[in-house]
Structure 1
Amino acid sequence: MKQTLNNHPEKKPHREIAALMESERPHLLRYACYRLGNADDAEDAVQDIFLQLHTKKQDAGGHPLANLRSYLYRSLSNFCTDRLRRRQTRQFVPIEQATHVSEEKAENFEQEFQLISTLLAGIPEEQAEVIRLRIHGNNSFSDIAAILDIPVTTAKSRFQYGIEKIRKGIKS
Structure 2
Amino acid sequence: MREEWTACLARMAETRDRALFARLFEHFAPRVKAYLIRLGMAPAQADELAQEAMLSVWRKAHLFNPGKANASTWIFTLARNLCIDRLRREKMPCYELDADMPDGDDRDAGEGAVISDRLAACIRRLPEAQAQVLYMSYYDGRSHSEIAEVLGIPLGSVKSRLRLAFDKLKAMWGESS
Question: Does the pair score TM above 0.5?
Answer: no
If you compute each CA radius of gyration, which structure gives the higher value, 1 or 2? 1
TM-score normalised by length of structure 2 = 0.43
